[in-house]
Chains A and B, each alone.
Chain A
Amino acid sequence: MSEQLNVPTMEELMAQGKQPDILFWVGSAGSYDDRAKKITRAFVKILNKANVNFAVLGTEETCTGDVAKRAGNEFLFQMQAMMNIEVLNAYEVKRIVTCDPHSFNCLKNEYPSLGGNYDVLHHTQFIKELIESKKLEIKDGVFNGKRITFHDPCYLGRANSEYDAPRDVLATLNANLLEMKRSKSTALCCGAGGAQMFKDAEKGDKEINELRTEDALKTNPEIIATACPYCMTMMSDGVKVKEKESEITVLDIAELIAQSQGL
């Protein structure tokens, strides 16, 4: 399984005089977080399999500044944004895909007024596009009839009203999709947003991710699907706290699709 991934950088392509169709924005979590890196690799396997002409910024990528903005540090956010926009515009990037709904929201909605105008997609939207254009054919089998419940990331769902793409992609797996009572626009946050990922929670009587995991457990799932590296951390921790890790796996939609392809 440790096959070599084909991950060209913008710099390499530029040296060859080539321009990719799409830039894969990996994001800080996708680059450094051990669990999120697996999502990144799974998504690249899908891109490779579908022969997508993409590139990453590699070491030229830096934090979008999203989390600084949510924490109230508008200076740091705009510094990061302007540095990134300079790089992205220099490479004449037109289209961006990312596995992180926070980067997605930030690049799509908050970069334009600072001079960064791109067509930004979340990876579930891009995978859906690959499936619909037949660049990726989903072989059912692996997840046939499996009980899967999807946790909506706030910054994909409520923040950007995208509830369908992840569900449409999951629907191709021929699995048994279960909705939590709180889902789509009323989905409960995993607890990591708004910079909470990087600090301890304020005093309360419960952790938010535990409450959300309880929501998920009520559907009696075999798999909890997510589409965000932060949700991945929170839901995985939640499943551990509930001592259910032997029965329930938490997987990103990219991983589910990659596994269904035997990738």
Chain B
Amino acid sequence: MTYLPNIVFAIILFCGIGYFAKNVKKLFRNINLGQDVDVSDNKPERWKNMARIALGQSKMVRRPVSGFLHVVVYVGFVIINIEVLEIIIDGLFGTHRIGLSVLPTSVYGFLIGTFEVLACLVFVSVIVFWIRRNVIKIQRFWKSEMTSWPKSDGNIILYFEMVLMSLFLIMNATDLHFQGLNSGNVISQYIAPMFSGLPETTLHFIERSAWWIHIVGILIFLNYLYFSKHLHILLAFPNTFYGKLTPKGQFNNLESVTNEVKLMMDPNADPFAAPAEGDVDEVPAKFGASDVQDLSWVSLLNAYTCTECGRCTSECPANLTGKKLSPRKIMMDTRDRLEEVGKNIDANNGEFKDDGKQLLGDYITNEEIWACTSCNACVEACPVSIDPLSIIIEMRRYLVMEQSAAPTELNNMMTNIENNGAPWPYNQMDRLNWKDEK
């Protein structure tokens, strides 16, 4: 009977981690539905980017207020989680504050004291975040894509953090033994008086309840990640690692096109020649992307990493002038569609069954795709190296090369280039006329 709590704890821990692991596997599977790209280059630079941008939060602080608050929550979150280690050991072995029996009281007190201060700072920061979202109503949190689930998701995460931090402090405040040590109860000593006068058994009951709800809350939060924009706390790291290293203005050159163009320009090529032996199985390449599977896996990782902060959208010239395009929506749509495709695969024994839908058209409209100026403001603004522009360009490629569905004016422009080597209908022979004009 005395082992019952340990067993219950072990089962909860096992289920919590097990279900999360199952979803992580699904996450990997879904990301791998994307096209392969070679990102094995420049490892040192990639590690440096990850250290600087994800670990070091270098791009977060470009906006000082939200950046500073985010650093507080981030540092707090990472450091306070050390405490989870003690909770897990205590839970599994039925000990109470195992740290006290392995560390000198002063060291233990210092650690817990640090956690308490951070918990308090996190709590305050999260309240400010909530106020920014719900009271001040900062514009980027109230764009048209931020209704229903995305809006609730943002608040639920904040509530989770408020509750977890409170529980941690209450757990400490109602722990008579810990308060008796008077070491490390930096914040909780001020909360303890709120419980004064309660019988010891009641206090113990509150302490135990806070302890259990805290750890169960953490496990629920962990499992909430997969369904939430909050996945960024994990994926920001690989995402900054695999982020684009080439100049932002450089778009990739499609290799499948290069091969065809070379063939067209080779005077010795025989257009009617039978394909070489090896080429027979080759699936004819689709140019550009109309659905998530056509995008690179890095774009899909981007989509799962996006935490919908909207810094991209708030700097997008198209969005700022009232156009439908929102880079954040491009990322959210990509994730939603990817999830839909993933569920389809799960429901059909591992095989995707055509559902008559695709990312382009059913989620993202042509109007959004054509409103982009390719200015890279969104890419520059993203604190975790997400590249919405590459998705937009892949979709333009699909529209132009697979569907011939460019706006008429752009078709005229391209015809001009084909006919006279300039986007305007001027004669090639007049190219040097400027020399003699005044």
The interface of chain A, by Cβ under 8 A from chain B, is 1-2, 5, 7, 9, 26, 28, 30-33, 37, 40-41, 44, 56, 58-59, 61-63, 65, 67-76, 78-80, 82-83, 105, 108-110, 113-114, 154-155, 158-161, 185-186, 188-189, 191-208, 210-212
Residues facing A in B195-220 (CB within 8 A) are none
- Rounded to whole angstroms, the CA-CA distance of A9 and B435 in the bound complex is 11
Do A9 and B432 have beta carbons less than 8 Å apart?
Answer: yes
Do B257 and A74 have beta carbons less than 8 Å apart?
Answer: yes
Do B434 and A208 have beta carbons less than 8 Å apart?
Answer: no
- Rounded to whole angstroms, the CA-CA distance of A201 and B410 in the bound complex is 12
Among the 9-residue stretches B229-237, B351-359, B418-426, the one with 4 or more Cβ atoms under 8 Å from chain A is: B418-426
22 contacts between A and B (CB under 8 A): A28-B421, A59-B432, A62-B422, A63-B417, A63-B421, A72-B395, A72-B396, A72-B400, A74-B257, A75-B261, A113-B253, A158-B248, A189-B317, A191-B317, A194-B372, A199-B410, A202-B324, A202-B367, A203-B323, A203-B367, A207-B321, A212-B317
Do B373 and A196 have beta carbons less than 8 Å apart?
Answer: yes
Do B248 and A186 have beta carbons less than 8 Å apart?
Answer: no
- Rounded to whole angstroms, the CA-CA distance of A196 and B374 in the bound complex is 9
Q: Which of A65, A72, A105 contacts B393 (CB 8 A)?
A: A72
Do A7 and B435 have beta carbons less than 8 Å apart?
Answer: yes
Do B253 and A192 have beta carbons less than 8 Å apart?
Answer: no
Which residues of chain B have C-beta atoms less than 8 A from A208's C-beta?
A: 317-318, 320-321, 373
Q: Which of B250, B322, B373, B396 contacts A189 (CB 8 A)?
A: B373
Do B435 and A5 have beta carbons less than 8 Å apart?
Answer: yes
Residue B251 lies at the interface, judged by CB distance under 8 Å to chain A: yes
Residue B167 lies at the interface, judged by CB distance under 8 Å to chain A: no
- How many residues on chain B are close to A (CB under 8 Å)? 70
- Rounded to whole angstroms, the CA-CA distance of A28 and B431 in the bound complex is 8
Residue B277 lies at the interface, judged by CB distance under 8 Å to chain A: no
Residue B401 lies at the interface, judged by CB distance under 8 Å to chain A: yes
Do B406 and A37 have beta carbons less than 8 Å apart?
Answer: no
Among the 9-residue stretches B8-16, B23-31, B169-177, B375-383, the one with 4 or more Cβ atoms under 8 Å from chain A is: B375-383
Known: A158-B376, A195-B410, A205-B321. 8 other contacts (CB 8 A): A2-B438, A31-B426, A32-B424, A58-B431, A79-B264, A82-B265, A199-B370, A208-B321
The 6 closest A-B pairs by CB, nearest first: A159-B249, A72-B396, A194-B374, A62-B421, A205-B322, A189-B375
Which residues of chain A have C-beta atoms less than 8 A from B398's C-beta?
A: 72
Nearest-neighbour CB distance to chain B for A10, whole angstroms, equals: 12
Query: In the complex, which residue of chain B has the Cβ closest to the Cβ of A73?
Result: B400
Which residues of chain A have C-beta atoms less than 8 A from B315's C-beta?
A: 186, 188
Do A158 and B265 have beta carbons less than 8 Å apart?
Answer: no
Nearest-neighbour CB distance to chain B for A90, whole angstroms, equals: 14
Residue B89 lies at the interface, judged by CB distance under 8 Å to chain A: no
Do B262 and A188 have beta carbons less than 8 Å apart?
Answer: no
- Rounded to whole angstroms, the CA-CA distance of A191 and B373 in the bound complex is 6
Residue B288 lies at the interface, judged by CB distance under 8 Å to chain A: yes
Residues facing A in B295-333 (CB within 8 A) are 315, 317-318, 320-325
Do A74 and B253 have beta carbons less than 8 Å apart?
Answer: yes
Q: Which of A28, A114, A160, A194 contacts B247 (CB 8 A)?
A: A160
Which residues of chain A have C-beta atoms less than 8 A from B381's C-beta?
A: 186
Q: Which among B264, B379, B413 has the highest number of chain A CB atoms within 10 Å? A: B413
Query: In the complex, which residue of chain A has the Cβ closest to the Cβ of B248?
Result: A159
Do A70 and B374 have beta carbons less than 8 Å apart?
Answer: yes
Q: Which among A28, A56, A197 has the highest number of chain B CB atoms within 10 Å? A: A28
- Rounded to whole angstroms, the CA-CA distance of A192 and B413 in the bound complex is 14
Which residues of chain A have C-beta atoms less than 8 A from B406's C-beta?
A: 71-73
Given contacts A158-B248, A158-B376, A159-B376, contact A202 B431 (CB under 8 A): no
Which residues of chain B have C-beta atoms less than 8 A from A191's C-beta?
A: 317, 321, 373
Residue B397 lies at the interface, judged by CB distance under 8 Å to chain A: yes
Nearest-neighbour CB distance to chain A for B262, whole angstroms, equals: 7
Nearest-neighbour CB distance to chain A for B258, whole angstroms, equals: 6
Given contacts A67-B413, A202-B323, contact A26 B375 (CB under 8 A): no
Given contacts A26-B431, A32-B422, A75-B261, contact A202 B317 (CB under 8 A): no
Which residues of chain A have C-beta atoms less than 8 A from B409's C-beta?
A: 198-200
- Rounded to whole angstroms, the CA-CA distance of A67 and B410 in the bound complex is 9
Do B261 and A68 have beta carbons less than 8 Å apart?
Answer: no
Q: Which of A41, A82, A195, A211 contacts B317 (CB 8 A)?
A: A211
